[in-house]
Amino acid sequence: MRLLIAGAQGQLARAMIELAPSAEDVTAFAVGRPALDLTAPSSVLRTLADFKPDVIVNAAAYTAVDRAEQEPDAAMALNAQGPRRLAEAVERMGALLIHISTDCVFDGAKPTPYVEDDATAPLSVYGRSKLAGEEAVRAAAPRHIILRTSWVFSPYGSNFLTRMIGLARERDELRVVDDRMGCPTYAPHLAAAILGVARAATAAPHRGTWGTYHGAGTGSTTWCGFAREIMRVSGAHGGPSVPVVPITTAEYPTPAIRPVNSRLDSSKLTAVFDVALPPWQQGVAECMARLRE
Ligand SMILES: NC(=O)c1ccc[n+]([C@@H]2O[C@H](COP(=O)([O-])OP(=O)(O)OC[C@H]3O[C@@H](n4cnc5c(N)ncnc54)[C@H](OP(=O)(O)O)[C@@H]3O)[C@@H](O)[C@H]2O)c1
């Protein structure tokens, strides 16, 4: 299987490219800007023609959730028009598109974890742009898998876990919101799940497997609970660790409104593809071990 990953420098793409060489049946390429720029149609066509992939994973996105409130056009260009362009090209070559989306397509009002068919109602520019991307992929490429994930963290670059560790070096305590729930997702666990989905979907290339799925770390917590687990694991290995004080979202206002309930029910992914992500706490432990190396 030839697998092309768009968004080479992102945390999910990096996790995928680290994992792929250990899989003998997969030849993986990650391509980023400028060679593959989703806002530049010619680069999309050229890259697909050069690599001739069987599966394309779109891990490229405008992910600056707060900045998107000021830059809606840029968010739409990358998260909606980019995937549409990619989906049209992928469909023409008969390949499979695995497009990564987000919990932010929901408004969070549901009291229980979201399933794939729940009504979408994004609260932010980012969420609206990602929802438009989903709709564009569905319209342009029947051979698609839209995989919504949430609260992605990894050893790479800036994300919630690496920011908490950095802040714990500078501060006596961390104040973290405790009234929003979600499923933290370790990028390498998500990468392994995507490889599993790609294998299963190409082995059984029929409509029964195409569609929308949720794929997030097993279990759920609040941002405060997530931070406390990071501090616990860090402290247990002699790393920075400070108390985490619970606060409300009202005490930490941000430009973009985020769902109060971001929890994703990933059971359809397991039922169809026999793929399940490990508990999010295992992701924290593995990520901290990687950072210690
Ligand atoms: N992070 C989360 O918590 C989270 C939660 C839910 C869903 N998701 C979704 O998961 C996916 C992967 O997220 P991530 O955290 O790995 O993202 P990320 O680390 O922010 O990486 C996004 C990548 O997109 C690339 N990119 C930006 N503009 C581009 C363009 N015009 N053409 C091609 N690539 C471009 C960036 O490249 P440069 O390095 O060149 O800027 C970057 O490598 C995204 O679809 C995101 O919406 C993420």
List, run by run, the mean pLDDT of 10-residue segments along the chain (293 residues).
Answer: 94 93 83 94 94 96 97 97 96 95 98 98 98 98 96 95 97 97 98 94 77 98 98 96 97 95 97 96 97 91
Tell whether omega for the bond before 34 is within 30 degrees of 0, i.e. cis: yes
Confirm or reject: Cβ of 150 under 6 Å from ligand 1: yes
Q: What pTM value is reported for the model?
A: 0.96
Considering 114, 126, 156, 186, which one is annotated as catalytic? 126
Confirm or reject: Cβ of 37 under 6 Å from ligand 1: yes
* Ligand 1: centre distance to CA 100 (Å): 9
Fill in the DSSP letter of residue 115. P
The amino acid at residue 35 is: A
Confirm or reject: Cβ of 149 under 6 Å from ligand 1: yes
* Ligand 1: centre distance to CA 13 (Å): 8
Fill in the DSSP letter of residue 257. -
* Closest to 216 in 3D by CA, of 247, 182, 244, 254: 182
Rounded Cα distance between 105 and 158, Å, is 23
Rounded Cα distance between 36 and 26, Å, is 20
Angle at CA of residue 275, ends 274 and 276, nearest 5°:
125
What is the sign, positive or negative, of the torsion defined by CA atoms of 220, 282, 5, 92? negative
**What per-residue confidence (pLDDT) applies to 250?**
95
The amino acid at residue 154 is: S
Rounded Cα distance between 138 and 141, Å, is 6
**What per-residue confidence (pLDDT) applies to 247?**
97
Rounded Cα distance between 288 and 161, Å, is 9
**What per-residue confidence (pLDDT) applies to 22?**
72
* Ligand 1: centre distance to CA 162 (Å): 17
Locus of tokens 């050069």 = 50
**What per-residue confidence (pLDDT) applies to 189?**
98
